[in-house]
Amino acid sequence: MVRSHRLLILLLYVSLILSSNASATLNEYIVEPVTPDMDTGTPLDTVLINFWDLPPGAMLIALALSVSSFLGFPVELFFYIKLYMILGYRKISRNTVLTNETRNQIYSCIKENPGIIFNDLVRRSGINRGNVSYHINILKYTGKVNVLDSSGNPRYFENSGVYSKSEKLVLKYLRNDKDCRILKLLLEKPELTRNDIGDYIGLTPSTVSWRMKRLGDEEIIRIQKNGKNVRYEINPEIQQYLGKYLVNEQDKIP
């Protein structure tokens, strides 16, 4: 209904313009020579103006006139196109954002893979990087997805209140193979030392220390120090999320 009203307004506007042009064409004009007693004034010399000294509006008109003949495109149509864009533009909103098939595919991929990074999203969706970037920006703008910025490597989540901040952090680390194995290990065998974790996972002590510091800084694990001995365990508030995503027997550390 709204679209038909816009089209009607556009047609009426064009009809008015065409009718005014037609009436001007039908009017008669009488041209008479200048009589000797009429003062035509002193002719002025022509002053050349540089193109770059013109106002912006005049520049645009000059450019339109210069290219319209080559394009076979009457300058007057520029106005009609602009009018149609104003009357017929369909605003993207939260309710209409997923009507685009490509955008809906990207959103579904994010929904099915919470915490996915950009490169994985491109690979899983099969859509080129430029289109993925464009549609993600629209999904963020309309509030359909939100982003967990992770050291310059953003992770995307469905923005429906499903995921708490802690749960997003858990999903972030579970998507890294080594961090995921460490968390699985601590879930099955709490209070392990750095050397214990290194032996199970096959990592050097320095690598284990670096990874455990990251997990500790974001309160995924607790670090207990007793002299030179350091032991690690899962933060009790985080265990529920690990239990949610590591429910299969095959996910457990042997």
How far is Cα 78 from Cα 95, in angstroms, rounded to an integer? 31
Q: What is the pLDDT of residue 79?
A: 52
Q: What is the pLDDT of residue 92?
A: 73
For residue 105, give every residue at least 6 positions away whose Cβ sits within 8 Å of its Cβ, in sequence order, or none: 125, 127
How far is Cα 240 from Cα 246, in angstroms, rounded to an integer? 10
Q: Which CATH architecture has domain 167-251?
A: Orthogonal Bundle (1.10)
- Class of domain 97-161 (CATH, top level): mainly alpha
Q: What is the pLDDT of residue 13?
A: 55
Question: Tokens at residue 211, please?
Answer: 């990874």
70 Cα distance to chain centroid: 36
Q: Read out DSSP for 172-226?
A: HHHTSHHHHHHHHHHHHS-SEEHHHHHHHHT--HHHHHHHHHHHHHTTSEEEEEE
Domain locations in the chain as residue ranges: 97-161, 167-251
Are the C-beta atoms of residues 181 and 167 closer than 8 Å to each other? no
Q: What is the pLDDT of residue 102?
A: 93
Q: What is the pLDDT of residue 191?
A: 85
Q: What is the pLDDT of residue 212?
A: 93
| The length of the chain, given as a count of residues | 254
Residue by residue, pLDDT tens for the chain (254 residues) are 545 555 555 566 555 555 544 444 444 445 455 444 444 444 444 445 566 655 666 666 666 666 555 555 555 555 555 544 444 445 677 778 899 999 999 999 999 999 999 999 999 999 999 999 999 999 998 889 988 876 678 899 998 788 888 888 899 898 888 999 999 999 888 888 999 999 999 999 899 999 999 999 999 999 988 877 889 999 998 988 888 887 654 454 43
Q: What is the pLDDT of residue 25?
A: 44
One-letter amino acid of 164: S
| Whether the domain at 97-161 and the domain at 167-251 fall into the same CATH topology | yes
| Angle in degrees, 0-180, between the axes of helices 165-174 and 177-188, rounded to the nearest 10 | 110
Give the residue from 250, 230, 144, 251 showing the smallest Cα distance to 187: 251
155-158/192-193 β-pairing? unpaired
**Structure pTM?**
0.56
